[in-house]
């Protein structure tokens, strides 16, 4: 008796069904992978944004706690403080307790507009040493500093003015903007208030500076 040695294979319909199931599985897998990659890129964009914001605010906090508002600065001008410090400013001038270290934190035009696009940078300078705090990827769309009191509370002319007799502090507000990997723009706003740790400023104010 001759046995039938031929083995039965897949039919065309079975093959098509198998290919359809495989294609469906691969589409789900690829979609999930693309979603994970997209989430990672978006998370990295936010990480860069928050890293820049933290660097800016940590620097402002650290500098102000090591010094105080330089009421005798040439920028403010002795006798002009009420006008210059009565509202918001895009820069702040600080001085150490002994008057030996002067620091300026301010908003400047974007260092590399080709890479960074529109917006500004935040720069901290001590003498000839200048450092930009935010990266080229992040633009600063708003940077405001409010200094209180508006007049130097340690100036002998103001010691009997109750409205100025409180510990100097600054309120800092900033909005950072970055372009996502997909070309969309997103922004985050931050603000903080910092009190000076200096309770007795000893440097001499510049009496020769006159209002502009």
Measured from the Cβ of residue 76, the count of other Cβ atoms closer than 10 Å reads 24
Alpha-carbon gap, residue 107 to 110, rounded angstroms? 9
Alpha-carbon gap, residue 60 to 191, rounded angstroms? 11
- Mean pLDDT over 57-75 rounds to 81
Is 122 a residue whose pLDDT tops 60?
Answer: yes
Alpha-carbon gap, residue 84 to 73, rounded angstroms? 11
Q: What is the DSSP letter of 100?
A: -
Question: pLDDT-based confidence at 76, cuts 50/70/90?
Answer: low
On average, the pLDDT of the chain sits at 78
Task: Kindly report the length of the chain.
Answer: 212
Question: pLDDT-based confidence at 80, cuts 50/70/90?
Answer: low
| Host H or E run for residue 16 | helix 12-66
Chain segment 131-190, per-residue pLDDT in tens? 999 888 888 988 999 988 888 887 778 788 888 888 888 899 999 998 887 778 888 899
- Mean pLDDT over 194-205 rounds to 71
- Mean pLDDT over 10-38 rounds to 77
Higher pLDDT, 46 or 116: 46
CB 45 within 8 A of CB 186: yes
Question: pLDDT-based confidence at 81, cuts 50/70/90?
Answer: low
Question: pLDDT-based confidence at 123, cuts 50/70/90?
Answer: very high
| Host H or E run for residue 209 | none
The pLDDT score that the predictor gives to residue 196 is 84
């Amino acid at each position: 008796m001759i046995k039938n040695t031929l083995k039965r294979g897949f039919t065309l319909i079975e093959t098509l069904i198998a290919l359809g199931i495989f294609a469906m599985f691969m589409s789900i897998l690829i979609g999930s992978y693309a979603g994970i990659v997209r989430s990672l890129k978006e998370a990295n964009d936010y990480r860069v944004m928050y890293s820049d914001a933290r660097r800016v605010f940590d620097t402002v906090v650290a500098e102000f706690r090591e010094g105080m508002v330089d009421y005798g600065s040439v920028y403010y001008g002795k006798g002009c403080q009420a006008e210059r410090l009565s509202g918001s400013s895009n820069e702040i001038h600080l001085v150490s307790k002994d008057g030996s270290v002067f620091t300026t934190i301010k908003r400047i035009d974007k260092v590399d507009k080709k890479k960074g696009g529109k917006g500004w940078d935040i720069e901290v300078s001590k003498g000839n040493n200048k450092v930009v705090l935010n990266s080229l990827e992040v633009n600063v769309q708003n940077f405001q500093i409010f200094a209180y009191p508006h007049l130097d509370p340690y100036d002998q002319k103001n010691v009997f003015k109750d409205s100025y007799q409180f510990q100097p502090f600054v309120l800092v507000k900033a909005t950072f903007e970055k372009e996502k990997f997909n070309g969309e723009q997103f922004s985050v706003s931050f603000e903080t208030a910092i009190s000076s740790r200096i309770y007795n400023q000893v440097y001499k104010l510049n009496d020769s500076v006159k209002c502009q």
